[in-house]
Amino acid sequence: MTEPVPSDENLKKVRERVMQLAREIEQLSGQELPAPVFFQEFLTRVVTAVGARAGVAWLLDESGRLNLAAQMNLEQTGLRETPGALGINEKLLIEVMQTGEARTLTHGGEAKLPTEHVLVLSALHKEKKCVGVVELFQRPDVPIKAQSGYMQFLEQMCGYASRFLEGRRRSLETNADLKNQFWTDFEQFSLRLQRSLQEQEVADAAASDSRALLGCDRVSVAIRKGRSFRIRAVSGQSSVNGRANLIVAMRKLSRRVIEMGETLVYTGKIDGLAPQIEKPLAAFVQESGSRMVMLVPMFENEALVRKQGEEEDRERRKKRPKATGCLVIEQIAESEPAPQLEQRAELVADHVGAALWNARQHGRIFGLSLWKLIGRMLEWFRGRKLAITAAVLLGIAALVAVMTLYKLEYPVKAEGKWMPVEQHAVFATYDGLITRDGIRIPPDQLVRKGDILIVLQNDELDGQIEEAEASIQKQKNMQGSKQEEIRAT
pLDDT for 308: 64
Fold of 193-303+320-364: Beta-Lactamase (3.30.450)
Q: How many CA atoms lie within 13 A of 444 on its CB side?
A: 0
DSSP letter for 367, please. T
Quick check: helix, strand or coil at residue 379?
Answer: helix
Report yes or no: 408 and 426 within 8 Å, Cβ to Cβ: no
* pLDDT given for residue 293 in this prediction: 94
DSSP 57-108: EEEE-TTS-EEEEEEESGGGTTTTTSTTHHHHHHHHHHHHHHH---EEE-TT
Q: What is the model's pTM?
A: 0.47
CA distance 90 to 64: 13
pLDDT at 177: 61
Instruction: Give the pLDDT score at 134.
Output: 94
Ranges in the chain, pLDDT < 50: 1-6, 168-174
Count of CA atoms in the C-beta half-sphere (13 A) of 389:
10
pLDDT of residue 236: 85
Q: Check for a shared fold between 7-166 and 193-303+320-364.
A: yes
Is 93:121 a contact under the CB 8 Å cutoff? yes
| CA-only gyration radius of the chain, Å | 47
Domain ranges of the chain: 7-166, 193-303+320-364, 369-405, 423-476
Given a contact cutoff of 8 angstroms between Cβ atoms, the answer to whether 273 and 285 are in contact is no
What integer pLDDT is reported at residue 169 of this predicted model? 44
Give every CB contact of residue 171 below 8 A, 6+ residues apart in sequence.
Answer: 178, 339
Tell me the CATH class for 7-166: alpha beta
Q: Specify the DSSP class assigned to residue 407.
A: -
Nearest-5° Cα angle at 377, 371 to 378: 85
Cα–Cα distances (Å) from 49 to 18, 21, 55, 147, 395, in that order, read 5, 7, 12, 13, 81
Which residues, including other chains, have CB under 8 Å from residue 93's CB and lie 6 or more apart?
A: 58, 66, 121, 133, 135
* Cα separation, 342 vs 288, whole angstroms: 20
pLDDT of residue 292: 92
